[in-house]
Chains A and B, each alone.
Chain A
């Protein structure tokens, strides 16, 4: 919501530039990862996901990279637009233990300068 961005790391980019948002995940056995976007006053929305048998996945203007060696996930947004301004969360899941839970990162605020 409108106060979710307080105390968050912030990335400020110029409109048209590429953005890279990083996330360190906690469990080396996690095998499914999601990026969510949360605009002010709204619930998180799915952007893109990736399974641990892949190291890269592309969507429309977005790419997720997974580095299992260092437990690092990144979201790349090409040609960033004002509508991309939001808080971005990564989430991890360990599906093999039948756990339905996602573990969320604390989020990064993306600000797009016109």
Chain B
């Protein structure tokens, strides 16, 4: 079974803080993704990575950065958290090589005060 884990289920931060969200997958998947999920807006792609040290912007990258130093780990960074970044953050991974089924982590609910 593929397992995607996220470092925190709930996180509360203050405006202006730097925030790190960590995601780890244990199935040697090539691709990893970060989404945010908000009521009425569905899942929106922030960034994704198809290889170590490679990253591509998704649909809403502003205010975020990512890091993929190791194949199994994909980090989402909020350089200076703002209240409009309060959301549910979901990490996913997929095998690649035309196998594009994505496996999701449990999510991190981030509140920025």
The interface of chain A, by Cβ under 8 A from chain B, is: 1, 3-8, 32, 34, 36, 41-46, 49, 89, 91, 93, 95, 100-102, 104-107
Given A42-B107, A43-B107, A101-B45, A3 contacting B39 (CB threshold 8 A)? yes
Contact status A7-B40, CB under 8 Å: yes
Secondary structure class of chain B's binding surface, majority of residues:
strand
Chain A residues, CB < 8 A from B101: 34, 46, 49
Given A32-B100, A43-B90, A93-B100, A6 contacting B39 (CB threshold 8 A)? yes
Contact status A100-B94, CB under 8 Å: yes
Given A1-B109, A4-B88, A42-B107, A102 contacting B100 (CB threshold 8 A)? yes
Interface string of B91-106 (1 = CB under 8 A from A): 0101010101111111
Chain B interface residue count, CB cutoff 8 Å, equals: 28
Report the separation of the CA atoms of residues A44 and B102 in the bound assembly, to the nearest whole angstrom.
9
B82 within 8 A of A: no
**A/B interface sample: 15 pairs, CB < 8 A:** A3-B39, A4-B37, A6-B40, A34-B102, A36-B104, A43-B106, A44-B104, A45-B104, A49-B101, A89-B43, A95-B98, A101-B33, A102-B100, A102-B102, A106-B42
Chain B residues, CB < 8 A from A44: 43, 90, 104
